[in-house]
Amino acid sequence: MRRHPLDPVALAAGLVLAAIAALGLLDPARTRDVDLALVASGAIVLVGAAVLLGALARRGRVTPRSDRPAGSA
Amino acid sequence: MDPQRIPVIGTGAESGTATAPPPPPPPPGGTTPPRPPLRRATGDAILGGVAAGIARTLDLDVALVRVAMVVLALPLDGLGVIAYLAAWALIPADETPTDAAPRRGAGVWIGAGLVGLGALMVLERLGDAWGWGAWRPWRWFAADLVLPLGLVVVGALLWWRAGETAAPLTGRSEGSAGAAGGTDGGTAAATRTRTRAELEDSRLGPLSTGLALMVLGGLWTTDGLDVTSLGATRIAAAGLLVLALGLLVGAVAGRARGLILPGAVLALVVLGMLGAERADGAALGTPAVPGVSTLERPATVADVPAGGYEWAAGDVVLDLRRLDAASLVAAGGPVPVRAELGVGTLEVIVPRGVGLDVAASVGIGTLRVDPDADLEAEVGVGRLDVPGSAQRGLGLRRDGDTSAADGGATLLLRLEVGVGRIVVTEG
């Protein structure tokens, strides 16, 4: 598997999903005080922010002409 | 160049001229052309392209194949779905669309679905008429083993196929190898090309999905066999954790953004289950639960409405503990109590020492009856938890004798919830 530049969307989504999974795996008595609605809302905000940042970062890049198919020149 | 002078090359199907189309060449050896190999026709697919691929290989109408698959899957219960998923995972894809098997759209599936639904209704009707009892074609879905083991198999197939794609990935990476060389030369274009190739070809997605399915199915199986008692929430959370780890690995190596959608769905399931567990815990707490939207506590039999209780939605506690044995006998016989709730939780607390005759149904959700009772229970989708039996799945049913009242000191509970929970406890 080849390394590539950090993918912020995948990272944010992975962290959020891992946190929710941990919430489900832990003893319910220990997580009783966690506000599930707040967790869900925060997850949506975090993933949305990552998607937004990723989209803005892509817009900032210049698409090289060499990306075009060879026959289109 | 004049198009009419273009020489005809190949089969003639893809070239030829407008004025004199050449006849198709005779098949080699003078025999009928060989059937195309079985491939999933994803270009004509509605789901995985399995039916379209079979239709293309066998030169049949794809609509007929789809209807036949649905009808043939019925006697196989849930195994038909698993067989389709296995075929989806095993048969390689061919994205070339074909005119011979045009896409029929939603009509085919609506028609096939109606045929399937009608066949189910006929079978169930025949079952009642011919004394098969409560035979239901989909009851295998409710089994604690078939579906989870199917998940394990499909997950293993995904792993296997992901391993098989290693060679094409390497071969395809010839372009990306050149691009990688360009990366060494410092061009951004090469980096983008390499990343896109990995984006399309990464095996991380199917590997993570396969492992998640195996974890889900494996833990579900061990729970079904009573080897473990993790519960649905933890099992779903374990599968979610696998997907999350796949995403985290994919953030720096490989690519697995496709895991976000199934992960989000599974996360919602986990959060929903956690919320339901908490609500269950609250409903099973003290009778006068703080925060319940409705609390009914009839003091005498006369306080129970003759037509029963009805609520559209909410969390309801129906506390019947004041209707003790003496008051029931004094009322002259078994006392019926009807309660209907559209959406929400209905907790019914019954007094100790009285006979119970319960007929309860939940459309989607959980039905739990703690005390011993003459019980007739039905759950459309969800969980049925009664003394001596706990089931999950579709079309759950517990047939009992609710016709024979035990005498005067008996409560006849007739409970119905559309979506939500019914919990009957003894106070």
**Residue A1: its chain B contacts at CB < 8 A?**
202-204, 253-254
Instruction: Tell me the nearest-neighbour CA distance from A9 into chain B, angstroms.
Output: 8
Q: Which of A20, A24, A43 sits opposite B234 (nearest CB)?
A: A24
Q: Do B241 and A21 touch (CB under 8 A)?
A: yes
The total of other beta-carbon atoms located within 10 Å of residue B171's CB is 9
Tens digit of each residue's pLDDT (9 = 90 or more) over B292-306: 567 888 988 888 988
Assess A58–B contact: CB distance below 8 Å, yes or no: no
Residue A3 pLDDT level (bands cut at 50, 70, 90): low
Of A62, A56, A14, nearest to B267 by C-alpha is: A14
Tell me what pLDDT residue B338 has: 93
Tell me what pLDDT residue B337 has: 93
pTM of the predicted structure, to 2 decimals: 0.45
User: What is the total residue count of chain B?
Assistant: 427
Q: Is the pLDDT of residue B102 over 80?
A: no
Q: Is the pLDDT of residue B197 over 70?
A: no
Instruction: Tell me the nearest-neighbour CA distance from B78 into chain A, angstroms.
Output: 28
Of B220, B88, B76, nearest to B152 by C-alpha is: B220
CB B365 within 8 A of CB B379: yes
B260-283 vs A8-25: helix crossing angle, rounded to 10: 30
The nearest alpha carbon in chain B to A6 belongs to: B252
Percent of chain B with pLDDT over 90: 9
Q: Is the pLDDT of residue B192 over 90?
A: no
Instruction: State the DSSP code for A3.
Output: B
Instruction: State the DSSP code for A70.
Output: G
Q: Among B211, B271, B273, B280, which would you mutate to test the A interface (most chain A Cβ atoms within 10 Å of its Cβ)?
A: B271
Q: Do B237 and A21 touch (CB under 8 A)?
A: yes
d(CA B241, CA B93): 29
Tens digit of each residue's pLDDT (9 = 90 or more) over B219-246: 887 876 777 778 778 888 999 999 999 9
Q: Do B270 and A24 touch (CB under 8 A)?
A: yes
Contacts with B, A 11-30, CB within 8 Å? 11, 13-18, 20-25, 28
Residue B123 pLDDT level (bands cut at 50, 70, 90): low
The strand pairing partners of A33, in sequence order, are none
Question: Which residues lie closer than 8 Å to B247 by C-beta, 6 or more apart?
Answer: A10, A11, A13, A14, A17, B208, B256, B257, B259, B260, B263
The total of other beta-carbon atoms located within 10 Å of residue B119's CB is 15
Instruction: Tell me the nearest-neighbour CA distance from B212 into chain A, angstroms.
Output: 12
**Residue A36: its chain B contacts at CB < 8 A?**
271, 274-275, 278
**Residue A20: its chain B contacts at CB < 8 A?**
237, 240, 267, 270-271
**Residue B255: its chain A contacts at CB < 8 A?**
4, 7, 10
Buried b (16+ CB within 10 A) or exposed e, A4-43: beebbbbbbbbbbbbebbebbbeebeebeeeebeebbeeb
The ipTM of this complex is 0.73
CB B75 within 8 A of CB B140: no
Q: Among B247, B266, B268, B278, which would you mutate to test the A interface (most chain A Cβ atoms within 10 Å of its Cβ)?
A: B247
Tens digit of each residue's pLDDT (9 = 90 or more) over A11-54: 888 998 999 999 888 876 677 777 777 777 777 788 777 777 77
Long-range contacts of B63-66 (CB under 8 A, 24+ apart): B63/B104, B63/B108, B63/B111, B66/B104, B66/B108, B66/B109, B66/B112
The nearest alpha carbon in chain A to B264 belongs to: A17
d(CA B390, CA B396): 10
The region that residue B358 occupies, defined by phi over 0 for left and psi between -120 and 50 for alpha, beta otherwise, is beta
**Residue B278: its chain A contacts at CB < 8 A?**
28, 32, 36
The nearest alpha carbon in chain B to A8 belongs to: B251
Assess A73–B contact: CB distance below 8 Å, yes or no: no
CB A56 within 8 A of CB A10: no
Q: Which of A4, A10, A22 sits opposite B247 (nearest CB)?
A: A10
Residue B9 pLDDT level (bands cut at 50, 70, 90): very low
Of B39-43, B344-348, B409-413, B421-425, the least confident: B39-43
Q: Which of B240, B251, B273 sits opposite A11 (nearest CB)?
A: B251
3-state secondary structure of B244: helix
Mean pLDDT of chain B: 71
Tell me what pLDDT residue B202 has: 67
Instruction: Tell me the nearest-neighbour CA distance from B174 into chain A, angstroms.
Output: 14
The C-alpha angle with vertex B246 and arms to A23 and B244, in degrees rounded to 5, equals 15
Q: Which of B233, B247, B252 sits opposite A6 (nearest CB)?
A: B252
CB B322 within 8 A of CB B304: no
- CA distances, B311 to each of B33, B236, B303, B343 (Å): 68, 32, 17, 8
The nearest alpha carbon in chain A to B247 belongs to: A14
CB B142 within 8 A of CB B392: yes
Q: Do A8 and B251 touch (CB under 8 A)?
A: yes
Instruction: Tell me the nearest-neighbour CA distance from A73 into chain B, angstroms.
Output: 16
Of B20-29, B192-201, B278-287, the least confident: B192-201
CB B146 within 8 A of CB B79: yes
Residue B267 pLDDT level (bands cut at 50, 70, 90): confident
